[in-house]
A and B are shown apart, each in its own frame.
Chain A
Amino acid sequence: MGELSLGSPIFLWALLSLPLLWLIHALQLKLHKKLIGTLFLLDRLELDHYQGSRIRRLLQSPSLWLQTLVLLFLTLLLIDPYWQQEIRTSKCAIVVDNSASMRAFKTEFQDALETNLKAWGVLSKATDFALFGSTIMSGKQHQGQQWSALLTALHNMPLQGGEHDMSPALHLARQWVGANGCIVLLSDHPRKVSPDVNMISCGHKIDNVGFAGVSAENQGKEWAVEAIIRNSSAKSQTRSLAISQQSPRVITLKAQEIRTITAKFSHAITKAQFSLAHDAFALDDILTVVKPQAKKLSMGITGEQNEGQFLKDRFDLLYTKLHWNQENPYLKITLQDAQLSALSEPLSYRIIFHTIKHKVRPSVLSLVPTQHELVRGLNWPPLGAELSGLGEISLEHEDLVLVWHRSLPFLVLRSKTHPDGRVFQELHINTEYKDQLWSYPSFVLSLHRFVENAAKACPAYERANRKSPTVLDIPVKSEGNYELCWNEENETTTISSQKGWLQIPTHMESKSLKVSHKNTPIAEYAFQLVDGREGDFSKAKTFLSKGNMDMGESIMSQQRSDDWKILIILLVLSLLMIDWHIRGRRNS
């Protein structure tokens, strides 16, 4: 059975305007006076004594009824009613082994899956399918009730992992289907799985020949590429080999043979492709080699014209092509030579170049963090640390000296914490050794890493903080009341959803939250920060997928249509026109 729900029940208060409308009409009600010369004719009619009452005359007022209708229709528009229908479905999670070898058996798996699901009776009833990759990071790939859509998603699924443990993915699938749902594992290797998992294994040995490795070397005017071809089968194999646009030739490899093929290209050619005739496992049949190119770095630069041009020139000289995106930069590089004021602008990430006069004074006594992600693996040979002349520790920010140059911090990562909990990061670069600075490819790579981090973190971070740092927004599928349990306590509070969202006010001291709907847990949140800091609520990680709310066999589906709203608006306009016409006639 379905039930009627209201999108915005708060607007039911608009009905309070009805008594107000009636009161206004009652107060405005007065008897029209008419001067006539035929009163004696009315006297002859032997009329009953006039017994008009306000209520009777109110009830006879068409204007009042029209305006009442208008108010009712407007309230109907505002409360946004919709119909919720309960649909009983079963759930089936299909976990696909993400290893690359599965590519050879895609067709077989589709056929086997369809045959088995038919045999198990899954396809004969309404079933909600979900497709999971076996690596936990790949998550849910598809969800829906259409079988054809599932097959398409299965066909398009990226299969490029290696050997890995499947139990986390199976655990995730079990959470999604609930206790009664069906889990199917597709793999090309026979595996030991728990009894509640249905295993479909279709793998078999294939005769595969493919590329096993590549190396490129700069040889003056040319660059040489060495590609390694391996015959993995137990038999001798013959394949045609093509290099770029050249005509293919036939090569024959003995069982388990590894052969190296060398090709030379001029520097004008930036891309080369080695291709073998396709076999059942096509992933290693094509080898594409790309000559190293400068990366594109999107950023906007503010500051003096000369400084900006200087920076552009230097970046262009090195391995970076600077892509100017002044209008909408995701990272803003600020050229400034003054001491920074704390959190002067709402940017989470920025790079600041310092002159010698206003060099950054690190406030944390720290060793050079060579393992920091920005400098890890990079070569900074002439740089050394001579800790001296450091300033006092500031409470406003923390500095992490990434690279020292002589006695001065050269590359400093400064983190600032806003009173509301937001964390800002700045990369400070000492430009005292401006000329030498640009000769370090590692410096450019560090910049790249910083920019990439900003690009990944900044937009989402900004979004999360911009709205309200003290409210946690959780999307939900069905309207109604949800129970909240804070900090593992027994007491629960109730909150109503608003248009598909739960807006939960949060507190800095809160550490965990469990959200349930009709006593079914749907999500758990633990407020731990990605970088290990404490107190920033907005960067909370979701430990359980919100798909948990689909546990059980019934879901509520909303049937919403806005067509009737247009009709209501037209009706309201018509009623207002009629009312206006009636009042005009009466006044005339």
Chain B
Amino acid sequence: MLHEEKQNAWRRGWVASQNYALPRRRGPWRKGGGGDRNRVSGQSLDFNDHRPYVQGDDMRLVNWRVYAATGQMVLKTFEEEVSPCADILIDGSQSMFYVEEKAIRSIEMIGWIVGSCQRQGLRPNLMVMKNHGVENVEFFSEEQCPNIFNGVACSSIDLSHIPWRRNSLRVFLSDLLYPGDPLEWLRPLAKGAGLAWLYCPYDESESNPEWSDDMEMEDVESGNKRRISLSSDLLKRYRLAYERHTEEAESTCTRLGVFFNRVNSQLPWSKVLPSLGEDGAQWVN
């Protein structure tokens, strides 16, 4: 893929973040005197709401004026001030970039996620997962994009050593084409997360291939080769296996409270954007 094509893809994603924002409507955002307000009650000076007193509540918060007038103990609640942050993890494996359409879609997604976080003041921490490690990208720009996303051979996945920040908005972009139990990989993503998103780009050539002859398959990550005698039965079994793998990942995400979203690389970017959130991406005025 050409340098310019990668830059253009990044630019498309970045521009799209002006209109569509990363969904972030729930989650205990990280405290610390930030400029953003959380939905849960907090200790700021801004009045939020009243609620009935329950045993154990701080007596200092009882609205005595209401008690004097009505005889009911009502508590005043104040909005909590939070300082939200986002941990963005990009799967840098070869499988993300070896198909051109998928690579373009992945870079568009990265541009959109990073742009969206920056526009919402989420202090993004961008990390690229490489084989047995993670690389922090301190300053991310359009020019850097082509050099970062070249793809590195990555035969396994381990999110346990990723330096996630507590209560952060976590976004993980990966095709999930790894062997093993998705629960084991994804548990660290959900643990301690304020809100977690998993965007999974995929290509039709992987999910629904049209192989027509005997072939020698070479794994893009490990370089392992395997000869297969193609038959309609084999194709059918492969498609079923792919479907099960995806369903397993999705059900694991549901179980862990991670929002899962598959992104088709064949569809135009403009059509993909509205479906990126839980109920569609947020519209930014």
Contacts and interface: CB of A to CB of B under 8 A. Distances in A.
Interface of A: 31-45, 47-48, 50-52, 57, 60, 585-586
A522 B224 CA distance: 79
Contact of A39 (B212, B224, B229): B224
Nearest to B95: A37
A47 B217 CA distance: 13
A52 B226 contact: no
Contacts of B140: none
Interface in B29-54: none
Interface stretch (B81-89, B118-126, B236-244, B271-279): B236-244
A377 B209 CA distance: 102
Nearest to B245: A41
Contact of A44 (B95, B234, B241): B241
10 contacts: A34-B211, A34-B215, A35-B220, A42-B217, A45-B238, A48-B229, A50-B228, A52-B214, A60-B214, A586-B213
B60 interface: no
A33 B219 contact: no
Nearest to A34: B215
A586 B212 contact: yes
Contact of B215 (A31, A44, A585): A31
B206 interface: yes
A295 to B, nearest CB: 82
A33 B218 contact: yes
A40 B226 contact: no
**Which of A34, A43, A51 gathers most chain B CB within 10 Å?**
A34
B175 A37 contact: yes
Given A45-B241, A50-B229, A52-B227, A37 B214 contact: no
Given A36-B219, A37-B220, 11 more contacts: A32-B213, A36-B220, A37-B98, A37-B206, A37-B221, A40-B177, A40-B219, A42-B228, A48-B229, A57-B214, A60-B213
Given A42-B226, A47-B234, A52-B229, A36 B241 contact: no
A578 to B, nearest CB: 15
A36 B217 contact: yes
Contacts of B219: 36-37, 39-40
Interface residues of B, number: 32
Interface in B228-277: 228-229, 234, 237-238, 241-242, 245
A32 B215 contact: yes
Interface string B184-217: 0000000000000000000000100001111111
A42 B238 contact: yes
Contacts of B227: 31, 50, 52
- The 10 A-B residue pairs with the shortest CB-CB distance, nearest first, are A37-B95, A39-B219, A50-B227, A40-B179, A41-B241, A31-B216, A37-B177, A32-B215, A37-B220, A34-B215
Nearest to A46: B237
A36 B213 contact: no
B242 A40 contact: no
A47 B229 CA distance: 9
B78 interface: no
B178 interface: yes
B167 interface: no
A44 B179 CA distance: 9
B94 interface: yes
A38 B229 contact: no
Contacts of B212: 585-586
A585 B222 CA distance: 29
Contacts of A44: 179, 241
Contacts of B221: 37
A32 B238 CA distance: 18
A299 B234 CA distance: 85
Contacts of B226: 39, 42-43, 50
Contacts, number: 84
Nearest to B99: A37
B154 to A, nearest CB: 10
Contacts of A45: 234, 237-238, 241
Interface centre among A35, A39, A44, A585 (most CB of B within 10 A): A39
B217 A34 contact: yes
B188 to A, nearest CB: 21
Contacts of B229: 48, 50-52
A41 B228 contact: no
A38 B177 contact: yes
B83 to A, nearest CB: 38
Nearest to B224: A39
Contacts of A47: 228, 234
Contacts of B206: 36-38
A59 to B, nearest CB: 12
Nearest to A40: B179
Interface string B155-198: 00000000000000000000101110000000000000000000
A36 B216 CA distance: 10
Contact of A41 (B93, B98, B242): B242
Interface in B78-114: 93-95, 98
Contacts of B220: 35-37
A585 B212 CA distance: 10
Contacts of B217: 34, 36, 39, 42
Nearest to B94: A37
A45 B242 CA distance: 11
Contacts of A34: 211, 215-218
B216 A33 contact: yes
A173 B218 CA distance: 87
A44 B211 CA distance: 18
Nearest to A36: B217
Contact of B98 (A35, A52, A57): A35
Among A34, A37, A47, A586, the one with the most B-chain Cβ atoms within 10 Å of its Cβ is: A37
Nearest to B229: A52
B100 to A, nearest CB: 12
Contacts of B179: 40, 43-44
B142 to A, nearest CB: 27
A325 B214 CA distance: 75
A36 B222 CA distance: 11
A38 B212 CA distance: 17
A585 B213 CA distance: 12
A39 B217 CA distance: 7
Contacts of A585: 212
Contacts of A32: 213-216
Contacts of A36: 206, 217-220
A36 B211 CA distance: 12
Contacts of B98: 35, 37
Contacts of A42: 217, 226, 228, 238
A69 to B, nearest CB: 20
A34 to B, nearest CB: 5
Nearest to B96: A37
Contacts of A586: 212-213
A44 B181 CA distance: 13
Nearest to B237: A45
Contacts of A41: 238, 241-242, 245
Nearest to A47: B228
Contacts of A43: 179, 226
A33 B215 contact: yes
B26 to A, nearest CB: 33
A48 B219 CA distance: 18
A139 B174 CA distance: 100
A240 B97 CA distance: 117
A38 B94 contact: no
A60 B229 CA distance: 11
A51 B230 CA distance: 11
A433 B220 CA distance: 107
